Amino acid sequence: MADAAPIPLGLIESLRSARRICVFSGAGMSAESGVPTFRDALTGLWERFDAERLATPEAFHRDPSLVWGWYEWRRMKMRLAQPHAGHRALAGLERRAAQLTVITQNVDDLHERAGNTNVLHLHGSLEATRCVRCAAPFALPADIPQEPEGGRRIEPPRCASCGGRVRPGVVWFGESLPMPILQPAHDAAAACDVWITVGTSGLVYPAAELPLVAARAGATLVQINPLPTPLDAHYDHVLSGTAAQCLPELFAQERDRASLQPGRS
Ligand SMILES: NC(=O)c1ccc[n+]([C@@H]2O[C@H](COP(=O)([O-])OP(=O)(O)OC[C@H]3O[C@@H](n4cnc5c(N)ncnc54)[C@H](O)[C@@H]3O)[C@@H](O)[C@H]2O)c1
Ligand SMILES: [Zn+2]
């Protein structure tokens, strides 16, 4: 983190004494693993669309092979990507410290592949596909899809029970977030001592709401982003840098401080 400001001592102390920590991640968390953001994912076949016109139930209904092909291409990108040092730092935190809840808007599985076990996917998961008609889960083949750069149309598979089309397991624009995920995310926010937002502009509900729940409950709020966000004023600490830079540095400094003060837990 050569160019970033030093990490404030007060933040290190808050982390050291925290019993419950929440990490709230968005697309920026996966950027350094090479997972394309929505805008980057609109290449080739899809470049004349915008994400709001592909990631909707109406788009899937109108042109299922266009939408399914886009998601298969994104799933390939995700499967080829590897967790980075920031993901590994969060897995290390879970192994050695406080109760950690990762609340992510990402539909990839990079937090899990790094080793985190308590991950709430607010916007679903690329792998959790299901039938549009009867909602039966559909098991995708285990091997990595081989999709050409630029993309292609692919007819979605059919449900074995009812013959309905299989759809991506993500929350599309216009759909509500699943309560079995949103409720525990809300509870974790209300109960945490430290809240760390990383790689999200945090403007859309519930992105905008959850950090405020944590703030009202008295948590220390930390923002990690290379760019300013409109919500920075709500945060106690703003670390200007990337996920792969700031997260390892933050927890390394916390560990160093712990080893200097062996009397404290
Ligand atoms: N990997 C995925 O699962 C994936 C990919 C594309 C989109 N999405 C989802 O689609 C929605 C909209 O996404 P979006 O792409 O507009 O992003 P977003 O609105 O969540 O904003 C991304 C933020 O990340 C910051 N950022 C960029 N690089 C970063 C880095 N290396 N480290 C830390 N922060 C960084 C940007 O400054 C920006 O504020 C969100 O729900 C998002 O999570 C998910
Ligand atoms: Zn079905």
Which pLDDT score is estimated for 263? 43
Q: pLDDT-based confidence at 1, cuts 50/70/90?
A: very low
DSSP for 164-195 reads PBEE-SBPPTTSPPPHHHHHHHHHHHHH-SEE
Predicted pLDDT of residue 193: 97
Residue 172 lies in a domain: no
- 56 with 103, same domain: the answer is no
Give the pLDDT confidence score for residue 261 in this predicted structure.
58
- Checking if the pLDDT of 4 tops 80, the result is no
Alpha carbon of 128 to ligand 2 centroid (Å): 14
Closest residue CA from atom 5 of ligand 1: 37
* Mutational test site, ligand 1, from 77, 90, 105, max ligand atoms within 8 Å of CB: 105
* Domain membership flag for residue 162: yes
Separation CA 120–CA 214 (nearest Å): 16
pLDDT of 206 higher than 90: no
From 111, 140, 167, the end of a domain falls on 167
Residues 91 and 6 in one domain: yes
Its sign, for the CA torsion 67, 69, 71, 73, is: negative
pLDDT band at 264 (very low <50, low <70, confident <90, very high): very low
* Same domain, residue pair 65 and 160: yes
Instruction: Say yes or no: 199 and 233 in one domain.
Output: yes
Looking at the structure, do residues 48 and 119 belong to the same domain, yes or no?
Answer: no
Range of the domain at 260: 1-33+83-123+177-265
Query: How far does the centroid of ligand 2 lie from the alpha carbon of residue 201, in Å?
Result: 36
Region 141-162: mean pLDDT is: 91
User: Is the same domain home to 74 and 162?
Assistant: yes
Which ligand is nearest to the Cα of residue 246, counting in written order? 1
Ligand 1 neighbours (beta carbon < 6 A): 26-28, 30-32, 35, 37-38, 105-108, 123, 198-201, 224-227, 229, 242-243
Catalytic site residues?
123
Nearest residue (by CA) to ligand 1, atom 42, is 27
pLDDT of residue 143: 86
Q: Report, as an integer, the average pLDDT of 20-37.
A: 94
Q: Tell whether 265 is covered by a domain.
A: yes
**Count of domains in the chain?**
2
Residue range 39-56, pLDDT digits in tens = 888 888 888 888 888 999
Residues 101 and 189 in one domain: yes
Cβ-in-10-Å burial (0-12, 13-18, 19+) of 57 comes to middle
Query: Who wins on pLDDT, 142 or 187?
Result: 187
pLDDT over threshold 60, residue 80: yes
60 is a domain residue: yes
242 with 259, same domain: the answer is yes
Residues 209 and 155 in one domain: no
Residue nearest (by alpha carbon) to ligand 1 atom 34: 199
CA of 159 to the centre of ligand 2 (A): 5
Q: Domain containing 139 — which CATH number?
A: 3.30.1600.10
Task: Check the annotation: does 215 bind a ligand.
Answer: no
76 within some domain: yes
Q: Which of the ligands is closest to the CA of residue 227?
A: 1
Mutate to test the pocket of ligand 1, among 104, 197, 201 (most ligand atoms within 8 A of CB): 201
45 falls within a domain:
yes
Is 4 among the domain residues?
Answer: yes
| Pocket-testing residue among 24, 38, 173, ligand 1, by greatest number of atoms within 8 A of Cβ | 38
> For residue 265, is pLDDT > 80?
no
Task: Give the CATH number for residue 109.
Answer: 3.40.50.1220
Question: What are the pLDDT digits (tens) for 216-228?
Answer: 999 999 999 999 9
146 and 207 inside one domain: no
Check the annotation: does 162 bind a ligand: yes
| Whether residue 257 sits in one domain with residue 228 | yes
Residues 62 and 97 in one domain: no
- What are the helix (H) ranges across the chain? 9-17, 27-31, 51-54, 57-62, 64-80, 85-96, 110-114, 179-191, 210-216, 243-260
